[in-house]
Amino acid sequence: MRHRLKNGAFLAPAILLSACSTGENKGEQKPLNIIHIMTDDHSYQTISAYGHPISRLAPTPNLDRLAYQGMLFRKAFVENSLSTPSRACLMTGLYSHQNGQRQLGAGIDTTKVFFSELLQKQGYQTGVVGKWHMQCEPKGFNFYYVLDDQGDYYNPEFKTPDSNGQYVREEGYATTLTTDHAIEFLDGRDPEKPFCLLVHHKAPHRNWMPDIKYLDLYEEVEFPYPDTFFDDYSTRCEAARTQEMRIDKDMNLVYDLKVDELRNRAEYKQSWLLQSWDASLERMTPEQREAWHAAYSHKNKAFIEQNLKGEELTKWKYQRYLRDYLRCIKTIDDEVGRLMDYLEKEGLMDNTVIVYTSDQGFYMGEHGWFDKRFMYEESFRTPLIISHPAMTNRGSVCDALVQNIDYAPTYLSLAGVEKPDFMVGTSLVPLLNGQIPSDWREYLYYHYYDYPAVHQVRRHDGVRDECYKLIHFYGEGAGNDTNINCNELYDLQADPTEIKNRYNDPQYAEVVTRLQSRLDQFRSDLKVDEF
């Protein structure tokens, strides 16, 4: 059922639903506000509402509070597991090859409409704070407070409409400052108009630098190792062997793991990562730096004295990695709680849809890895919570296949704006009442392009349905890598950790044929130009 407003726009069913719940302004419903909170590289494994063993040892009470008042999506995915491409999917509702942002660097086709522009036209006040990381200026925003590129954890620089194109340094911790600016937007808005605010945190991006107050948190906790921690990649295409994102080989003890005392070792000295490390220490205030060294130096000395090797060293690296990562998550959780408290205090909860997600998932040691990029579950999948008191049942879950191209259509629908024909994503609003429409998508398309590049993950595309995943690695090899044209099939129910490639198993021949034909269909329908 759809109703036309006087201005000709369509009123989405969601707005009617919300009208039923609040009981105020009988007949005259205020448009919904939207807050999209997106962290950078936050794994679903580290949100306790998802119930993963890691998160049980490092709970996230505020994210859980959001999940328990709303809907937790257990099958939310990205199209291309990398920051700028993911953000381009968010802003345009288009796949990477359609919006131009295939890789981390330049690419976005700025002639594509951003959903923020359409909301502005609808009378929304729009804002974005934190990591923008689009390779263009913020488009369609009344207010912005954005970090420079990846941004910094300590005393970061922000650009605003008033800073004359300059990034201006602010003292403090990025997650907290980003929340401060979110609240600043909310305080300064016109309360008579609806708003859409994107709160994009830098954390917990590499190199996982926690806030001073949490430098010792979880120090006594031993985090469990994933079943695939020592994966030998024996059934896979060579892409899994030639990547450079292994905890044992590619995680740097100084830059990633903060063992500053090893900076003079030849292997670290030559690394450009050492320069980044120095830069991140130099930008601290003397007090911050002193507190930092005080927290790490005795732990580092104990580590060096142990002189660990082989498996023991890899395990130590994993523990240090997880502790720092989860310390960053702790501040995220605190700051999401602070924002929710603000919304409650200001009486905004009933009329605001709150979304929590990440720009992609992340490996917490699965397959021996950190980083993302692959179509395997931990980086393909992303956390997603949507909460609105009238539209989502408390503590509900959704198992429909959803993807980051769906956010733009969702926000347009919430605002009562008709989705433009060119947008390919699908509004998630029909899912919020707990039922999956019978014509909901059964397959997802994925495509990763950023090779050769840091972490050296080969180009691949693929499809996933409820039960299976087909991946195709392709392209010329760079450096020592050979050309690749290789397929993998995983049975996600029998083998949820994706260690047995079934592509050449005769038992799975029919599944391969079905998924291959769906993949071909995607490539031709979407006019994919490389695979």
List interacting residues with ligand SGN (CB under 6 A): 40-41, 82-83, 104, 150, 205-207, 273, 276, 371, 454-455
The one of ligand SGN, Ca ion, none whose footprint includes residue 42, by CB under 5 to 8 A per kind, is none
Backbone angles phi, psi at 247, to 5 degrees: -65, -40
Beta carbon of residue 246, minimum distance to ligand SGN (angstroms, whole number): 12
300-307: long-range contacts, CB 8 A cutoff, minimum separation 24: 300/258, 300/259, 300/260, 300/261, 301/261, 303/259, 304/259, 304/261, 304/262
Q: Which residues of 351-364 are buried (b: 16+ CB within 10 A; e: fewer)?
A: bbbbbbbbbbbbbb
Place of tokens 């490539």: 523
Considering the complex, state which of residue 92 and residue 352 has its C-beta at the smaller distance from Ca ion: 92
Eight-class DSSP state of 422: T
**For residue 63, which of 44, 90, 40 has the smallest C-alpha distance?**
44
The one of ligand SGN, Ca ion, none whose footprint includes residue 454, by CB under 5 to 8 A per kind, is ligand SGN
Residue 215: CB atoms within 10 A of its CB come to 19
Beta bridge partners of 397: 72
Q: Pick the binder of Ca ion from 18, 40, 97, 124 (CB under 5 A).
A: 40
The one of Ca ion, ligand SGN, none whose footprint includes residue 393, by CB under 5 to 8 A per kind, is none
The one of Ca ion, ligand SGN, none whose footprint includes residue 211, by CB under 5 to 8 A per kind, is none
Considering the complex, state which of residue 47 and residue 82 has its C-beta at the smaller distance from ligand SGN: 82
Considering the complex, state which of residue 16 and residue 273 has its C-beta at the smaller distance from ligand SGN: 273
Asked if residue 83 binds Ca ion (CB under 5 A), the reply is yes
Considering the complex, state which of residue 57 and residue 453 has its C-beta at the smaller distance from ligand SGN: 453
Asked if residue 41 binds Ca ion (CB under 5 A), the reply is yes
Considering the complex, state which of residue 205 and residue 459 has its C-beta at the smaller distance from ligand SGN: 205
Considering the complex, state which of residue 367 and residue 373 has its C-beta at the smaller distance from Ca ion: 373
Beta carbon of residue 284, minimum distance to ligand SGN (angstroms, whole number): 17
- The count of residues interacting with Ca ion (CB under 5 A) is 4
Cβ-Cβ contacts under 8 Å for 408 (sequence gap 6 or more): 90, 91, 92, 93, 114, 115, 423, 425
User: What residue ranges in 24-136 does DSSP mark as E strands?
Assistant: 33-39, 71-73, 76-77, 125-130
Considering the complex, state which of residue 206 and residue 464 has its C-beta at the smaller distance from ligand SGN: 206
Question: Side chain identity at 101, as an amino acid letter?
Answer: Q
The residue range among 39-47, 51-59, 122-130, 193-201 that interacts with Ca ion, by the rule CB under 5 A, is 39-47
SS3 435: coil
When CB distances to ligand SGN are compared, the closest residue is: 83
102's tokens: 């295939």
Considering the complex, state which of residue 150 and residue 497 has its C-beta at the smaller distance from ligand SGN: 150
Beta carbon of residue 365, minimum distance to ligand SGN (angstroms, whole number): 15
Beta carbon of residue 114, minimum distance to ligand SGN (angstroms, whole number): 19
**For residue 327, which of 180, 225, 216 has the smallest C-alpha distance?**
216
Cα separation of the two ends of the chain? 41
Beta carbon of residue 155, minimum distance to ligand SGN (angstroms, whole number): 18
Beta carbon of residue 360, minimum distance to Ca ion (angstroms, whole number): 5
The residue range among 34-42, 305-313, 408-416, 447-455 that interacts with Ca ion, by the rule CB under 5 A, is 34-42
The one of ligand SGN, Ca ion, none whose footprint includes residue 334, by CB under 5 to 8 A per kind, is none
* Helix/strand/coil (H/E/C) assignment for every residue in 313-374: HHHHHHHHHHHHHHHHHHHHHHHHHHHHHHHHHCCCHHHEEEEEEECCCCCCCHHHECCCCC
Q: Which residues bind Ca ion (CB under 5 A)?
A: 40-41, 83, 359
